[in-house]
Chain A
Amino acid sequence: MTGRGILLLALAGALLLAAPLVADRYVLSVLTTVLWFAYVGQAWNVMMGFSGLLSLGHALYVGLGAYVAAALFVHFGIGPWLGLWAAMLAAVAAGSFIGFLSFRFGVRGVHFALLTIAFAEVARIGFDHIGWLGGSAGFFIPVAEEAGNDLANLRGSPVLFYYVALALVAGALALARALLHSRLGYQWLAVREEPDAAEASGVDLFRARMSAVVVSSALTALGGVFQAFYFNNLFPEQVFSMGRSIEIILPAIVGGIGTLFGPILGAFILTPLGELLTYLIEVTGYDLPGLKQLFYGVALVAIVVFRPEGVWPWLARRLGLARRPGETAVPPNREGTR
């Protein structure tokens, strides 16, 4: 990043840290949603953006993470900080299974994407029938008493959840950045760009792809744990839905696939846009069915048509926040837009 980029990042960080001081409940809930999508978008980006593996079923990992942590809490009194390990393990197991099937038997591209959808759908239908987890009627975590914040059990006020979400985003950003500059990260990028050439350069394709799935599914499961304890209710029709899987990938697509800040910027564009539309519909009274989705869709098409590489790379260039390869005469100071 450039000096200006670092300054802006610090400023944004400070603003986000201070936001609960001024934001009301509603704004805070919108911001928490933004951060949640930024986080899971970042997690998805590890697979698609870094390694070129298109997952259209990331709701599977959200749902598994959410249900495992919630079940451990409700049925066994195990807190989320312990439960999240089991949640990540469950998601990693599912991801590894899908990965193993795909990468061992040469399932690639669109067919891999279809397989990820299939597994998420199987989970959605399956969880509808698990009575122990409430089935289709939903699974509920006892609602928090807002008087006391209990970080150990992740029970408490919206402000607590806001800061937890912010920490998740910051953590994921730091992790993604470190990975991208590691040996594994460069191998991921090589596999994304040209699998044959990567393999000829000594990269074990199976291991590289599997490791991307493991990291991505584990991170996504954490997003599920957060969701379970934030909303206190889980319905298979929502958490495992195809719509949720798409919502997860939109911020990264809009912001810029494969970039570090793309998913974050994308979430800050899309979620407020959705809220604004809801507000406009309420104010004007034009509540036609599907109007919100239509606006949303048009906005998306516009972004995909006019900024196909995402908003972040364009913004970063315009504002001089980061350099792309080749835009600097001094090679050592070249971090690119990733």
Chain B
Amino acid sequence: MTALLEVAGVSKRFRGLKAVSEVSFAVPQGGIVALIGPNGAGKTTTFNLIAGVFPPDEGRVMLQGRSITGLRPNQVCAAGIGRTFQIVKPFGDLSVEENVLVGALARERSVETARRQARAVLERLGLADQAARPARSLTLPDRKRLEVARALATRPTLLLLDEVLAGLRPTEVDRMAEVLRELNRREGLTILMIEHVMRAVMALSDHVVVLDHGEKIAEGTPAGIVADPRVIESYLGAEGI
């Protein structure tokens, strides 16, 4: 498999504090890669470096062999990366459909065509019957789905998911996991996910990257990772699985 996304030795310091330190990993085309680690390990910072929220101090980010290092978030979106936010950021006063419409307008100039695309995405994520409601009135699980819907509507080749399963009930986790698996299998969507819900990580991902204190401490198959002593010590602990 060829790498769709290649993160090569990226580092980021905040006022002297190394949030991410020389992290490298690759996301193969069509894969589902999970990024795990304890709180403060630098997972979201790594995401933000990929998504263009801030440029890395060192290192490069390559998408399909082209450097996207230092691009603005809207340019990263145009390059083909869609993202969700850990703390959901819906356009509160807009309707659910309009939220997704904004995402669709990233690649579509006609509002009517974009609206049709938005409806299709809402249908797919089971939000169609909420389309006309203001986004701020949604429950947390629905807001998380809306995050995914809006990112999907930008028609990404790579989807970055920042803890979209956290805070959901087990049935909702299964439902979301099913949607993601289907997108991956049917449409070849590549996914890089930050996740704490180990059950979902084990079930969904085919490759796991573990961060701790801003450094990559391990990577491998889900089964290999949960057996890795370093990972158990720093993150999973005895009761983690």
Residues of A within 8 A of B (CB): 181-183, 186-187, 189-190, 193-194, 196-205, 258, 324-326, 328, 331, 334, 336
A181 to B110, CA, bound (A): 11
* B79-126 contacts to A (CB < 8 Å): 82-83, 85, 89-95, 97-98, 101-103, 105-107, 109-111, 114
8 A-B contacts (beta carbon < 8 Å) = A189-B91, A193-B94, A198-B91, A199-B72, A200-B74, A203-B106, A325-B95, A326-B137
Interface size in chain B (residues, C-beta < 8 A)? 38
Q: Is the CB of A201 within 8 A of B131?
A: no
Q: Is the CB of B150 within 8 A of A182?
A: no
Known pairs A197-B150, A201-B103, A202-B154; A190 contacts B94 (CB<8 A) = yes
Q: Is the CB of B132 within 8 A of A331?
A: yes
A183 to B82, CA, bound (A): 19
Known pairs A186-B102, A196-B85; A326 contacts B91 (CB<8 A) = no
Q: Is the CB of B91 within 8 A of A193?
A: yes
Inter-chain contacts of B137 with A (CB < 8 A): 326
Specify which of B51, B74, B101 lies most central, judged by the most chain A CB atoms within 10 Å of its CB.
B74
B164 to chain A, nearest CB (A): 14
Point out the residue from B53, B111, B132, B154 that lies within 8 Å of A182, measured CB to CB: B111
Q: Is the CB of B109 within 8 A of A183?
A: yes
Inter-chain contacts of A204 with B (CB < 8 A): 72, 74
B139 to chain A, nearest CB (A): 14
A135 to B198, CA, bound (A): 73
Q: Is the CB of A197 within 8 A of B132?
A: no
B207 to chain A, nearest CB (A): 24
B38, CB-defined interface residue at 8 Å: no
B193, CB-defined interface residue at 8 Å: no
Point out the residue from A183, A199, A328 that lies within 8 Å of B74, measured CB to CB: A199
Q: Top 9 A-B pairs ranked by shortest CB distance? A: A202-B106, A325-B95, A193-B91, A197-B89, A326-B133, A202-B77, A199-B73, A190-B102, A194-B89
A189 to B101, CA, bound (A): 11
Residues of B within 8 A of A (CB): 51, 53, 72-74, 77-78, 82-83, 85, 89-95, 97-98, 101-103, 105-107, 109-111, 114, 131-134, 137, 150-151, 153-154
Inter-chain contacts of A186 with B (CB < 8 A): 94, 98, 101-102, 105, 111
A114 to B107, CA, bound (A): 36
Q: Is the CB of A201 within 8 A of B106?
A: yes
Specify which of A201, A204, A334, A336 lies most central, judged by the most chain B CB atoms within 10 Å of its CB.
A201
A26 to chain B, nearest CB (A): 40
A90 to chain B, nearest CB (A): 31
Q: Is the CB of B132 within 8 A of A328?
A: yes
Besides the known contacts A198-B102, A202-B105, 20 further A-B residue pairs in the complex with CB atoms under 8 A apart: A189-B93, A193-B94, A194-B89, A197-B85, A197-B150, A198-B91, A199-B77, A200-B74, A201-B106, A201-B150, A201-B153, A202-B106, A204-B72, A205-B74, A258-B93, A325-B132, A325-B133, A326-B95, A326-B137, A331-B131
A119 to B97, CA, bound (A): 39
Inter-chain contacts of B107 with A (CB < 8 A): 202
Q: Which residue of B lies closest to A205 (CB)?
A: B74
Point out the residue from B89, B102, B103, B133 that lies within 8 Å of A196, measured CB to CB: B89
A201 to B81, CA, bound (A): 9
A186 to B107, CA, bound (A): 14
Inter-chain contacts of B103 with A (CB < 8 A): 201-202
Inter-chain contacts of A202 with B (CB < 8 A): 74, 77-78, 103, 105-107, 154
Q: Which residue of A lies closest to B77 (CB)?
A: A202
Inter-chain contacts of B102 with A (CB < 8 A): 186-187, 189-190, 198, 201, 203
Point out the residue from A189, A194, A199, A324 that lies within 8 Å of B134, measured CB to CB: A324
Point out the residue from B77, B114, B132 that lies within 8 Å of A326, measured CB to CB: B132
A204 to B101, CA, bound (A): 16
Specify which of A187, A198, A328 lies most central, judged by the most chain B CB atoms within 10 Å of its CB.
A198
Inter-chain contacts of B53 with A (CB < 8 A): 196
Known pairs A200-B73, A201-B150, A204-B74; A334 contacts B93 (CB<8 A) = no
A326 to B89, CA, bound (A): 19
A313 to B90, CA, bound (A): 22
A224 to chain B, nearest CB (A): 31
A205 to B73, CA, bound (A): 10
A208 to chain B, nearest CB (A): 10
A331 to B129, CA, bound (A): 9
Known pairs A199-B72, A204-B74, A331-B132; A193 contacts B93 (CB<8 A) = yes
